[in-house]
Amino acid sequence: MNERSWPGTSGSDPAEVFLRRALDDAALRAPDDVTLRRGWTAVAEPVKPPRARSWSRSWSWFAGGVATTAALALVCGLWLWPRAVATLTLISPVTTPRAPAQVAPGARRLTLEGGVEAQLGSSGVMRIEDGAPRVEKGEVRFSVPHRPPGHPFVVRADDYSVVVVGTRFGVVVNDQVVGVDVDEGIVEVRQTATQRRLARLSPGQVWHSADVSVETSGAPAPEPPAPALPVSPAVSAPASAPEPGHVHVRIHDHRQAARPAARALALATPGEGSATAGRAAITSTPAGLSTASDESANAARSALSAGDAPRALQIYRALALKTGPAAENAAYEAGKVQNERLGQPANAVATWRRYRADYPDGILRVEADVSIIETLARTGDADDALGEANDFLRRHPDSERRAEIARLAGDLYRARGDCRHAVGAYQIVLGASRPRDVVEIASFRRAACLVRLGDAGGGEAARAYLRTYPTGRFRTEAAALVGDGARSVDGRARPQ
Amino acid sequence: MQEGPVNTPAHLHAVPIGGSPIADMEIAARCRRGDSHAWRTLYDRFAPVVYRFLSAFGVPLEDREDACQEVFVAVYRSLGHFRGEARLSTWIYRIAARHASRTARRRRVRSLLSTLLVREPPPPPAPDPSERSERLQILDDLVSKLSPKKRLVLVLFEIEGVPIEEVAKIAGCPENTAWSRLHYARAELTAMARRRIR
């Protein structure tokens, strides 16, 4: 079976041609930068170093069985228990505190079902309702061990549900304003009635149902807006205004924000809190700075949409002078505007180099490197492009863009007649094994370089190309190379 | 005329090419020790791969991002079990495949429940009008009609470019079975494409 011969591209069967193209498209499908950054934000600190398995598998099964039995017994117990107990207010803890000596004055620590630890603040009031805790008043901090899939731990507070898989977080209710902050893991805040997701929080993020409404780039996109109250005039309108009668929930990524201040923001009760309770927002500190950054980023995007690239560049430059993720993003975006919108490749390269100097381990470092290399190659600065490409290959041994850059380096070496180095670069592409079209091109060009060098492996490399890509786009040239390779080896005559 | 063996620039061999077992073991060990740089490297290297695999495997657009994150959380939690017997990519593909199947199952149950409860299903995402996107949508649609076993083999071999021996390891079947599944998957896909295009 020739594993690479399907589907053919002979052109006789439109279905096969379609499938070939579609499969090639699928092989090149990649998430955008923002998606990757959002993903990284969510998994960057996924708790502590994972532990190697210490129990034998059989013991794990045994423990699992015991835990399942205990859980079943507990569920049955709760089912049969009088209804009144289910709504018991835990003002006096009924569950024995695990370590009473460690409980801070005025605070109580409870161990709930599933090993969940709840630490009630001095004014915290919590109730168990339908098997799930509900924070009535004050602050309660939870530490939730990892839960099995499909069994999230849910804490209710006012009209909201906080859904977690395994994490540490706090819930505070103050005059009908609900605040949630996350220490570890990921939690989701949902509207209890509709189960609509309002926010997904990573460590360090804070959400509260009060009035502030701000947004930054690189944040997880919320689900469609939840029904809520009218927007207060104090809240700045986003670039795309939400429909009337809907709330626009926005998330801040504020890893560089100071935690205590963020907590203070969540715990504060805004004056108009009760009037605006139900409007949801995630904020970070310093709120003023972030809001300004977000507005600037939105303004730059709006200017670009309106075709006003100089204005967008101006905004990005001003924003890049600040600190934080929005500033880092702006430092990179300014280069993109110069390159793509203003036709200033040299300035763009300078901007990206400045970005690299400011953020040597920045989240957009690879993007900046690739942008510089591609721009230099496009503008004919082959020496500089090759220097950058070689640096990239040295610096990013695991990058997904490695094959792409190696191919570009190979092409640049080949264009200047340096087939020896071109072969080395193409070799990297073949080692990287994808994407498919990059590999095919490198495979053919490597064969061409080897034949040109009079290398004995040239003919074989061309034959290997034909075997792998019998209907490939260079099949005619490769067939010619096979003959050239044989001649050059026999007579050491190099094909032109 | 230059003669002699073909040289490769030194820096091109200075680092192992991504995916080699040594690099895999090292990166996994460093992640296990809590090295955040190694974790970042692993994410940068495999996030686009996992995302592409989930897309091709039929995880819908609206669930893809969450699914990708969940795969990485699962990878992190399971790193303690990675013994280096397979390539790291093979191991991650296996986790992603399990996760994608589970997501599909959950989605089917949800859709069944919403049908039973006569709840309005969520609106489909707005279609992208480009020709490439249309092709991808048709391909996704056709691939989703294959059985999960055939789909897995086809996606890994044809789209991800994974060698068949690795495909067999990921699918947990002998190599000949993987070939056989691939053969039938290709035949079914071609037949479906012919019907669709006609």
Cα separation, A477 vs A474, whole angstroms: 5
Percent of chain A past pLDDT 90, that is, above it, reads 2
Can you give the pLDDT at residue A476? 85
- Whether residue A204 has pLDDT greater than 90: no
Nearest CB neighbour to B2, from listed A18, A424, A453: A453
List A207's β-bridge partners, or say none.
A180, A282
Please state which of the ranges A1-5, A116-120, B69-73 shows the lowest mean pLDDT: A1-5
Pick from A6, A29, A412 the residue to mutate for testing the B interface (most B CBs within 10 Å). A29
Min Cα–Cα distance to chain A from B172, Å: 20
B2–A contact, CB cutoff 8 A: yes
How far B6 CA lies from chain A's nearest CA (Å)? 6
If you average pLDDT over each of A137-146, A355-364, B57-66, B145-154, which comes out highest? B145-154
Structure tokens at A325: 């993720």
pLDDT score at B152: 93
**Could you say which residues from 395 to 434 on chain A have a Cβ atom under 8 Å away from some Cβ of chain B?**
397-400, 402, 406, 419-421, 423-425, 427-428, 431-434
Q: Say which residue the tokens 């249309």 belong to.
A: B134
CA–CA gap between residue A137 and residue A120 (Å, rounded) = 10
What tens digit of pLDDT does each residue of B123-143 get? Answer: 555 555 567 778 888 898 899
Tell me how close the Cα of A431 comes to any Cα of chain B, in angstroms: 6
Picking from A29, A39, A220, the nearest residue to B52 by CB comes out as: A29
How many Å apart are CA A229 and CA A29, to the nearest integer?
Answer: 40
The complex's ipTM works out to 0.77
Check residues A12 and B158 and name the one with the higher pLDDT.
B158
**pLDDT for res A292:** 63
Q: Which residue of B has its CA nearest to A424?
A: B8
Q: How far off is chain A from B186, nearest CA to CA, in Å?
A: 8
Average pLDDT over residues A425-436: 72
Q: Are B72 and A43 an interchain contact pair (Cβ–Cβ within 8 Å)?
A: yes
Question: Which residues in A452-478 are b (16+ Cβ under 10 Å) and which e?
Answer: bbbbebbbebbbbbbebbebbebeeeb
What DSSP character marks residue B80?
G
Mean pLDDT to the nearest integer, B151-176: 91
For the segment A233-275, what is each residue's pLDDT rounded down to a tens digit? 322 333 333 333 222 223 333 333 333 333 322 322 233 333 3
What is the 8-class DSSP label of residue A172? Answer: E
Report whether pLDDT(A364) > 70.
yes
DSSP H or E run through A83: helix A83-86
The reported pLDDT for the residue numbered B22 is 52
Q: Residue type at B64?
A: R
pLDDT tens for B91-120 read 999 999 999 888 888 777 777 776 666 555
Q: Which of B159, B164, B188, B190 to mutate to test the interface with A (most CBs of A within 10 A)?
A: B159
B120 interaction partners in chain A (CB closer than 8 Å)? none
**Closest by CA position to A53, among listed B79, B99, B9:** B79
Put simply, the answer to whether B6 touches A455 (Cβ < 8 Å) is yes
Q: Which of residues 164-193 of A touch B (CB under 8 A)?
A: 186
Residue B137 neighbours by CB under 8 Å, 6+ apart: B127
Q: Given a cut of 80, is residue A394 above it in pLDDT? A: yes
Res. A49: pLDDT tops 70: no
Whether the per-residue pLDDT at A484 is higher than 90: the answer is no
B 44-63: CB under 8 A from A: 44-45, 47-49, 51-52, 55-56
Rg value, chain A, Cα: 30
Instruction: Quick: pLDDT tens for A380-389.
Output: 888 889 999 9
What pLDDT is recorded for position A490? 54
- The answer to whether the CB atoms of B7 and A424 lie below 8 A apart is yes
The fraction of chain A above a pLDDT of 70, given in percent, is 65
pLDDT at A470 over 60: yes
A80 and B CB contact within 8 Å? no
The pair of three-digit structure tokens given for residue B22, joined into one six-digit string: 């040594």
Is the pLDDT at B178 greater than 90, yes or no?
yes
User: Do the Cβ atoms of A51 and B40 come within 8 Å?
Assistant: no
Residue in chain B lying closest to A48 (CA): B34
Residues 263-292 (A) with a CB less than 8 A from some CB of B: none
The predicted model gives A447-452 an average pLDDT of 86
Q: How far apart are CA B19 and CA B28, in angstroms?
A: 12
